Structure 1
C-alpha cells in the first residue's frame, strides 16, 4: 500500500460506487425527517405557536437557498432563468394592451399609468407595500435578526429584494461582513465633506458626496473599456454593494460635522451588522435606538418604482449612468418636500400643536386645531397617500414599536390621539381619498424620542434606506437589458388636436 494512501477517501469512494444511489438518497431523506422531528419536539414553539408561524417556517425553509452565502453567485444563477422567462413572456404577450391613458393622467403627473417594470416591490392600495411578495409583518417574522434583536436586519431585506429568496442567517452575516469590508471612504470624499459650509443642507451634502464617489465606479470603468452588455449587471452589482456599504459612513460624517462639532465617526466593526455600525458612527449606543434603525432602514427601503426617488434612479440609470450618479439623482428627488421631507413637516406641525395647546390636550381641542389647519388651506401632514387606501403598514409597525418601547412618551401619545381623530375629520371634510396615516406620521417622533432632534437630517436616514430598494432594482435593470427610458411628450395644443377638442 502506498505511503500516501488515504483510507478515509477510499472509504467514501467505495461507499458511493458500491451503494445504490437511490437507496442512499432515501436513507438521507429519512435521516433529515428524523432530524426535523427532533427539532420540532425540542422546539414546539416553531410548530405549534400558531398557524402563521408554521407557515413562515415552511416558507423560509423553501425559499432560503443555503448553497452559497455569496450574493453575486446566487444572482449569477438567477439572472439567466429570469432573462428566459421574460423573453418568453414578451414573445407571447408583447402586443397586449394593458390599460388606457386619459388626459387627466397626463396632466396629473402620470399618476396611475402603467409604464414601468419594477421587480423588487409592489404597492397595493389595500394591503400596502410588498417586498418581493412579502408584507411588512411577514418580513418582520421571516427575515433574520441580530442576536437578541426583534427587528429584521436590512441586510436580509436586501438579499430578498435582489433574489426574491428569504435568506439564511449565514447569508445575512455574509452581507454584513461584505459591507463592512467595502465601507471605507476615499480621502477626496472625506475632504469634501469636511469643507462643506455648515449652512449647506444635509441632503445636498449627501447627494454631492455620492456623486463624488463616482470616481470609484467599476461600471463606468468597465463601460469605458468596452465590456459586453451581458456583463453590465456584474459591475452594477459591485458599485451597488460598494455604495450601500459606504452610505452610513457618509451619512454619519455629515451628522458629526453638523451636529457633533466634527467628532470622529470611529471605525467599522466587521462583527456588527450594518445598522449597528451606523448607530455607533452616529454616536448612539442605546440598543433600542439600534433596533429602531434596523426597523427604519428596512421599512423605508422601497415603495415600488413610481415614486420620485425610485423612478429617478431608474430613469438616470437607463442612460447607463453608473449607480453612483443614478442614486445621487434619486436623492435630489427625495430631498423635495413632497417626498422625503414629509416626516420633518409632520414633526414641525406636531411641535406647533404642542406649543399652542400644551401637554395634555382634549379630543375636542385637538379636533378644533385640525379643523383650523384645514380651513386655513393647509393639510394635516402625515395623513393621506397617493396610492394607499388604508393605514400605511409602515406606520403600523412603527406604532407597535412605540407601544412596546415608549408608550408613555408625550409626543407618541399625541400621535396616537391624532390617529383616533384625524381620519374622521378628513372623512367629514370629504376631500381626502385616503384619510389614514402614512409612514411619515410616526418616524420623526421615534427618532426624536431617542435624542435625534435634528429634523433637517431625517431625510438622510431615509436616503440610506432607500438605497436598498433602488439599487437592487438597478442591478436587475442592467441584467434584463432595460432600454433608455424615453416616453413621448405632447404640447397642450397637440393633445387637444389628438382628442378632437376645440382650442379656446
Structure 2
C-alpha cells in the first residue's frame, strides 16, 4: 500500500482540518459545522472570515472590532499601486498582476520579519492580505479602463466596497448582498489544489505572503480556476447566435461538446453553492435583464432532465451560475478568477495557520521509473 501510486493524489488523506467538509453524494458543504446555506443566508463575509480564522462565529462586539480592523487595512501603499498601474498599462493578465502585487505586499507589512511561529503576527498578515486584495483588483481594472483608482469607503462592507471601487457607484442592496453571498460560497472548499499548494508552502514555515502567492499561482491554471469565465463565454456564444438556447445545447451535445460548469471532482449531485447562486441569479433577473438566467436554466433543464447527467454524477457546479451572476453585477469576465482568489484568500490563510499550529513538512515520495546502471561517457566521446 505504501508504494501504491495514486495519480493526482485523488482520495489520499494528507491532513486533518476543522475548517470545511464536503459531502459529494449529499451535495453538502459545511464550514466548521455550519451549513453553507445557513451561512450564505444569514451571515456576512466578514463573519465567515472570522469563523475560519477563530473557529467560532463572532459576537456583535467581536464582529464590530474585527470589521473595524479589516477596514483599517484596506489602503494599499502607493508603491504597490504604482506597480499595479504599470501592470495594467502593459496589459498584464489579471491573475498575474494580482500574483505580483500580493507578493509585493510583504514589503510594506510591519510584521514582515516576524517568524511563522508567531501566530498572532500571522493572523495580522492574513487580515492585511484579505483586506487589501480587493483594493488591488479594483485599482488594476480601473487603470486599464483609463480611470483613476477609487479609495476604499470605510462605511461599506468588504463586498459592497469592492463593487464601489470597481464601478465607481455604490451598489444597491440586492447587488451587495449577492456579491457578499458569492464571497462566502467561495471562501473555502476543502483541500483543493490551490489550498493544498498554499499549505505545502506554509509547511516549510514560509510566511503567508509566499503561501497566498503560491495559491494564486495554482488557481490561475485552467483546470482549477476560470470555469465561470468559460460558462459566460458560452452564454455569449448562444446569445449572439440568435438561436433558441435549447436547440443550441442539443446540437452542442450531439457534437460531443463539453458544457462548462457541469461536473465536479468532489460533487456527484448539484453543488449546493450552485443552488444558492441560481436563486440570486433569478432575483437579479427579476430586476433587470433575464437573458442569462433563462439561458442557464434552459441548459440545466436539458442536461439534467433530457440527458440525465445527474444520474451519471455530472451536475451543475458553482461556476455554472457564478459567471452570469458576476456579469449581472457588472464585473468584467476576466476578473472572475481573481475574485475567486479574493474570496479564497480567507480559506488559504486559515488552512496555513491551522496547519502551521501543528506543523510537519509536507514531503511526499515519487516513484523513480528512469533508467538504471548507466555509465558516464566523457563529453568528447559521446
SS in 1 for 2:170: coil
Which stretch shifts more, 282-291 or 334-343?
A: 282-291
**CA deviation after TM superposition for structure 1 residue 184, in Å:** 1.8
Among 51, 57, 63, the residue aligned to 1:160? 51
Q: Is 1:117 the counterpart of 2:1 in the alignment?
A: no
Report the CA distance shift for 1:402/1:418 in structure 2 as closer, same or farther (over 3 A).
same
2-side partners of 1:444 and 1:141: how far apart? 20
Report the CA distance shift for 1:219/1:119 in structure 2 as closer, same or farther (over 3 A).
farther
- 1:12 equivalent in structure 2: none
Among 169, 178, 184, the residue aligned to 1:298? 184
Normalising by structure 2, report the TM-score: 0.89
**CA deviation after TM superposition for structure 1 residue 195, in Å:** 1.3
SS in 2 for 1:175: helix
Among 205, 219, 226, the residue aligned to 1:320? 205
Q: Is 1:170 the counterpart of 2:61 in the alignment?
A: yes
| 1:169-227 alpha-carbon deviations (Å, 9 max, x no partner) | 3322222211111122122211111112442101100000001112134554023xxxx
| 1:223-278 alpha-carbon deviations (Å, 9 max, x no partner) | 3xxxxx7x52122111111111111111111111123x132212x33332222221
**CA deviation after TM superposition for structure 1 residue 354, in Å:** 2.5
Contact 1:256 1:282 in 2 (8 A): yes
- 1:460 equivalent in structure 2: 338
2-side partners of 1:172 and 1:406: how far apart? 32
Contact 2:164 2:171 in 1 (8 A): no
Contact 1:194 1:257 in 2 (8 A): yes
Among 247, 252, 263, the residue aligned to 1:384? 263
**CA deviation after TM superposition for structure 1 residue 295, in Å:** 1.0
SS in 2 for 1:123: strand
Contact 2:293 2:324 in 1 (8 A): yes
Q: Is 1:247 the counterpart of 2:129 in the alignment?
A: no
Structure 1 unmatched runs, 5+: 1-99, 144-152, 224-228, 495-504
Contact 2:270 2:315 in 1 (8 A): yes
Structure 2 unmatched runs, 5+: 372-382
1-side partners of 2:307 and 2:370: how far apart? 37
Contact 1:209 1:250 in 2 (8 A): yes
| 1:361-393 alpha-carbon deviations (Å, 9 max, x no partner) | 4x4x1442231352xxx4210000001111011
SS in 2 for 1:222: coil
1-side partners of 2:202 and 2:307: how far apart? 39
Q: Is 1:222 the counterpart of 2:114 in the alignment?
A: yes
Among 285, 306, 314, the residue aligned to 1:406? 285
2-side partners of 1:249 and 1:332: how far apart? 19
**CA deviation after TM superposition for structure 1 residue 436, in Å:** 0.7
1-side partners of 2:363 and 2:110: how far apart? 26
Q: Is 1:273 the counterpart of 2:157 in the alignment?
A: yes
Q: Is 1:333 the counterpart of 2:232 in the alignment?
A: no
Q: Is 1:206 the counterpart of 2:98 in the alignment?
A: yes
Report the CA distance shift for 1:317/1:347 in structure 2 as closer, same or farther (over 3 A).
same
2-side partners of 1:442 and 1:235: how far apart? 37
- 1:191 equivalent in structure 2: 82
Cα root mean square deviation, aligned: 2.3
**CA deviation after TM superposition for structure 1 residue 353, in Å:** 2.3
Contact 2:39 2:184 in 1 (8 A): no
2-side partners of 1:254 and 1:433: how far apart? 42
Contact 1:218 1:238 in 2 (8 A): no
**CA deviation after TM superposition for structure 1 residue 469, in Å:** 1.0
**CA deviation after TM superposition for structure 1 residue 324, in Å:** 1.1
SS in 1 for 2:113: helix
Normalising by structure 1, report the TM-score: 0.68
1-side partners of 2:298 and 2:368: how far apart? 47
SS in 1 for 2:176: helix
Contact 2:27 2:270 in 1 (8 A): no
1-side partners of 2:237 and 2:153: how far apart? 40
- 2:377 equivalent in structure 1: none
SS in 2 for 1:221: coil
SS in 2 for 1:406: helix
2-side partners of 1:219 and 1:120: how far apart? 25
SS in 2 for 1:122: strand
Contact 1:382 1:441 in 2 (8 A): yes
SS in 2 for 1:252: helix
- 2:38 equivalent in structure 1: 138
Report the CA distance shift for 1:102/1:345 in structure 2 as closer, same or farther (over 3 A).
farther
Report the CA distance shift for 1:485/1:425 in structure 2 as closer, same or farther (over 3 A).
farther
| 1:56-81 alpha-carbon deviations (Å, 9 max, x no partner) | xxxxxxxxxxxxxxxxxxxxxxxxxx
Contact 1:214 1:322 in 2 (8 A): no
1-side partners of 2:201 and 2:147: how far apart? 33
- 1:354 equivalent in structure 2: 239
